[in-house]
Structures are given as C-alpha cells and as structure tokens.
Amino acid sequence: MPPVFEADKVEFSYGPLNVLNGLTLAVNQSEIFGILGANGAGKTTLMRLLIGLQQPSSGSVRVFGEPPSSRVTGRIGYMPQLSALYQELSARQNVDFFARMYGLSRSAERREAVDQAIEWVALTERQKDPLTRLSGGMRQRVSLAIALVHKPDLLVLDEPTVGLDPELRASFWEHFRNMAAAGTTIIISSHTMDDATHCHRLAFIQEGRVVALGSPADLRAATGSSDATLEDAFLHFIRQGGPS
C-alpha cells in the first residue's frame, strides 16, 4: 500500500529563516510514527504542512496519495501543541462544536461520538465545566478528544502528553496502540524519550532535516553500543548530524 504521508525534499522558510531543509520521510498505514527533535527543529512546521495549514517553499507533501486539501484533511484528526479551545465554553461544548466542524451533523450520531471521545480522555465527570475551571492537563485532554471525535484515519499529535500524569499517559498510549492495530495511522511529535519508546518507527530531526530513521531498537543498535538507550541514540545522531 502507498504511504499515508510522504514528504519529499521539503523546504520551508519564514523569511530568511530556513526551518525545513530538504526533509524526506514516509509514514505507512497503521504505523505509530514519532518525530523527535529539540525545540526549533521543525517538528510543528512539518505537521502544519501535513494538514495543509502551510505550503512548502519547495518539494512535495502528500497525504493519502495527494496534496493536502479539504478532501483528505477531513480524514485527519489534529491536536496542536497550543490548544485552540474556546475558553467560554464547557469541555463538552468545545468537543461538540468541533464535531460539527468535522461534519457530524446528525444529533444522535454526534452525541454518541462526543460521549465516546470525552469518556476516552477521562473527562466525563468534568465535561460540563467551563475551560477556565480546568487544569492545563485537562485542557490537553479536551484537545485530544476533539482530534478523536470523528474517528480519523490519520491522527496527528503535536506534543500530546505534555501536562499529563503518568497513569493517564500510559492509558493514552494503550489506546493509541489499539487504534493503530485497528488501522489508524498515528504521527506524533515529541521531545521526550517516554513517548518515543511507544513508536514503531522514529525520525530524529535537526535543523529541519532527518538525521536518523528507524525503529527504536535499530536506532539504539546503530550507535554501536550494546547497552545504548534511546536517549543515547538520539544524542549520538544529533551530535554527528546524520547516520554513521
């Protein structure tokens, strides 16, 4: 099957600042694919290109075999790093609003979808609270519920576990694995090794280009050390700027 997401020699600049520099990678169906890099490495910019919010300066981006457009972005669930929530609305009202935006127009269908999304992020008891009464971690959960409410084929998560307690983070990852096993493709950006260990494959990026690509086990082995951790592998490739 063709990749769900492809970036081919992608360049992107903000004025004189080059953010992506010939970045190339591909993500397959049902894969949990992690993009790791320091702040400013280009992770968020790549995700914005993926969902069509920005266009590359050069190179190409394809999602489900075609350039990002309204025809394919409806199959994507996106959780941004900075939440785009309506503070005056309750948690449930936020999820319901975005469910309508995703095209869930029938009230019974939408109600069931909203119920499931809110239950999954463990906010059922707080769903009627306005956003101003929720903690930062709870707002993260609302954002994730919004990304999941229309049951997307591709889930794009930008730093999704920030502010979550360890128990809830473990619960989220269990659900992500179940989603991938059922056919959903998940692309997650992170700078934490805890998230990285749950991914099928990883791309380490630095200064807008891929410096290493492979499974966590392969990347550890590529350092040449039998006891290397994933953090060791990340530092190894970032310091040398590319594979051995």
Query: Tens of pLDDT along 82-128?
Result: 677 898 999 999 999 999 988 888 889 999 999 999 999 999 999 99
Q: How large a percentage of the chain has pLDDT more than 70?
A: 98
How many residues can be counted in the chain?
Answer: 244
Q: Do 94 and 61 share a domain, yes or no?
A: no
pLDDT band at 161 (very low <50, low <70, confident <90, very high): confident
Q: How far is CA 76 from CA 80, 103, 133, 155, 175, in A?
A: 12, 12, 29, 6, 17
| Secondary structure (3-state) at 243 | coil
Query: What angle is formed at CA 164 by the lines to CA 144 and CA 81, rounded to 5 degrees?
Result: 50
Q: Do 34 and 128 share a domain, yes or no?
A: no
Q: How large a percentage of the chain has pLDDT more than 90?
A: 66
Q: Do 112 and 18 share a domain, yes or no?
A: no
> In the structure encoding, which two tokens stand for residue 86, read together?
């309506």
Q: How far apart are CA 210 and CA 241, in angstroms?
A: 9
Any idea which residue has 């409806």 for tokens? 74
> What residue numbers bound the domain in which 131 lies?
86-151
Indicate the number of domains in the chain: 2
Which uninterrupted H or E stretch holds 73?
Answer: helix 70-73
80 part of a folded domain: no
Instruction: Please say whether the beta carbons of 204 and 210 come within 8 A.
Output: yes
Q: What is the pLDDT of residues 132-144, one digit of tens each?
A: 999 888 898 999 9
Q: Do 146 and 165 share a domain, yes or no?
A: no
